[in-house]
Structure 1
Amino acid sequence: MEIKKELNGTALTLFLSGRLDAVTAPDLDKVVQNDLTGITDLTLDFSELVYVASAGLRVLLLAQKRMKKQGSMKLTHVSEDVKDVLDMTGFIDFLTIEE
């Protein structure tokens, strides 16, 4: 998975491409742990993300918990396959997904 970052003031957009799984989830976890200080608006752009595994869901949960305290988080350009995983796991109920 590749992560590209775009910072605009206190808004951070992360562009994820590839697979968010047990191998790549630690990379996103590092960003969540280290790069969200002072961020009030986090956007995860999933336009090139093709797969999310349980390890990736855990990192999304941690990011959501952190951003709930300091601002907001949303997912954009979520594919139907990834949306199906979010739906089956119940994550779709508490994550903000925009088209």
Structure 2
Amino acid sequence: MECTGTKQGAFYVLEVTGRMDALTAQGFEAECASRQEAGDTRIVADLSGLEYISSAGLRSILAAAKKLKAAGGDLAFCGLTGIVAEVFNVSGFAKLLPVFATREEALARS
């Protein structure tokens, strides 16, 4: 899994590619923590390049979302496709966390 990001207005967009599993999930959580320490508490995770997510990935997402919320921020998602979208829907994460079809929709919210 690889995470790259850019600041876009009030949001930090984190592009996640590859596989988020037991071996890589901590990297996502660490990246979100690093962004939070840098003052970026509103993160949009673009998962359009993510091929697979496991339960370990979901745990990392939940932990990162809780930390950002406690800091007055939030973690939203966009670009879910295929198995990643299916896992988000089946697990209930699509109802628990803000999920948008496109990056533009995620960035348009206030």
* TM-score normalised by L of structure 1: 0.88
Matched, 1:79 2:100: no
User: Which residue number in structure 2 is paired with residue 21 of structure 1?
Assistant: 21
**Worse overlay, 68-77 or 51-60:** 68-77
In the TM superposition, residue 9 of structure 1 has moved relative to its aligned partner by 5.7
- CA distance in 2: counterparts of 1:40 and 1:34, whole angstroms: 10
SS in 1 for 2:36: coil
Whichever structure has more helix as a proportion of its residues is 2
User: Which residue number in structure 1 is paired with residue 32 of structure 2?
Assistant: 32
* TM-score normalised by L of structure 2: 0.80
- CA distance in 2: counterparts of 1:29 and 1:8, whole angstroms: 20
Answer whether contact 2:35 2:41 (CA < 8 A) is retained: no
AA aligned opposite 2:77: L
User: Which residue number in structure 1 is paired with residue 100 of structure 2?
Assistant: 98
Question: Gaps (5+ residues) in structure 2?
Answer: 102-110
Counting aligned pairs with the same residue, the percent is 31
Answer whether contact 1:10 1:40 (CA < 8 A) is retained: no
Question: Gaps (5+ residues) in structure 1?
Answer: none
AA aligned opposite 1:76: C
**How many aligned positions are there?**
99
